[in-house]
A and B are shown apart, each in its own frame.
Chain A
Amino acid sequence: MDLSAYRDPEIARGLIEAIRAADPGRQVKIMEVCGTHTVSIAKNGLRGVMPDWITLLSGPGCPVCVTANHDIDSAIAIAQLPDVTLTTFGDMMKVPGSYSSLSREKGEGRDVRIVYSPLDALALAEKDPSRQVVFVAVGFETTAPLIAAAILRAQEAGITNFSVFCAHKTVPAALGALVNDPEVQVDAFILPGHVSTIIGMEPYRFLAEEYHVPGVIAGFEPVDMLQAIWMIVEQLKDGRAEIEIAYRRGVEPHGNEHAREMVDRVFEPIDADWRGIGVIPQTGLGIREEFSAYDATTRFDLEIPEPKEIKGCQCGDVLRGIVLPFECRLFGKGCTPEHPIGPCMVSSEGSCAAYYRYTDYGKAEAS
C-alpha cells in the first residue's frame, strides 16, 4: 500500500494554508494523546509550521509513561521470582521503578526478555514448560485485544505456565479527567488513531456533548496530522464541538466490535492509577475471575515495596500538558535519552524524548 501521498509536501502545504485561514481569532491549545502522534509531530516539524495562535500539546498518550511506579515495581518483583521468564515490549526495559528497572534486573541475571508480540511470550511458555512465562502488558485499547487473544489461545491450547501482569489502561475517561482538571487547558483533542481502530468514535462523544471540546481521530503521516488539525480549527472557528474521523482508512466509526468482544470476555474495567493524573475510576483492565489462572497477580505471591517517586522529575506535569518538556529542570541536563531519569525521557514515544531528539528546544516554543 502506497502511503507516499500522505507525505506529499503539496498536500501538506495546502493543509497548512487551510489551517492558517481558519483563524478563530484567539489562542487555541490542541492536545494529542498518543505517543506515535507525539513522535510524528516532533519528527515532521509540525510545531514549526503552525500559526502562532496554535499550541500543540502532548498529553498522557505514552502507555509506558503513564504506568505508575507501583506497577513497574510489581513487574520487577515478578522478574525476581525463581523460575520466572518475564517478557515485555522493549519500551518497558529501561523505565525506572522506585528502586530498580527491568533492564537492571536483567543485568543482574534475571530472565527478562523483549518480545514483539504476546504470542511470542506464549510460544516461549509452550517451548519450556519448566519456566513460568509472564507477559507484562502495558498499553491502551490498541493492544488489549492482543492480550485477550493470547490468553484465550493459552486456554485453548492448555498452556498453563503462561500468565499476564496487566497494567492496561483505557483512554476516553482519562481525557474527561484532563478536561475536568482546572490546571489543564485544552481546547480540542487530536484523538489516537489505532486506539480508535478498536473503540471507534462513540466513547469520545461525551467530550463534545458534555464539555463542548472537539476531537478528531488522526492517522500518523504528516498529511494525516495536518488534516486532523485543520478539521479541529474549522470546528473551533465555527464554534462547533464534534467527534470526527480524519483517519478513515484505519478507523471505522464503530471500531472493531469483534476485538472489543474478546477484550470484554477476558477483562473487566477496574480503577487505574495514572502517573501524573492519579486514580481514574474504571480506566484499567483487570483479568476476569474466570481467567484468573492467567493473572500473574493471583498466581504469584508478590511483595511490593512502598513506591517512591523520582526526585525532581516533572513527568507527571508533562503528561498533563501543564509543563513543556524543556521547562523541567532536569531536561537535557541530568535527564537525557542516554541517561533517562523519568519515563517520559525513557520511552522513545515519551514527550521528553521526542522533544530532545527532534526539537531545537533552546530557542523553540518558549511561549
Chain B
Amino acid sequence: MDNFTFGITMTVVGTGATFFILGILVFVIRLLKTAFPLSLPTEAEQKRQGGGA
C-alpha cells in the first residue's frame, strides 16, 4: 500500500471511528442516566436530616 492511500485511509477511518465510538459513549451515558436517575432527597427527608443535625 502506498503512503498516500495509507494516509487517507487512516484519516478517514480514524476520524470516522473516533467520532463513532464517542457517539456510542454519548448514547450509553444517556442510557445510564435514564436507567439510574439521581434521586434527590425529598423536602421531608431534608427536614429530617436538618432536624437530626
* Real binding pair: no
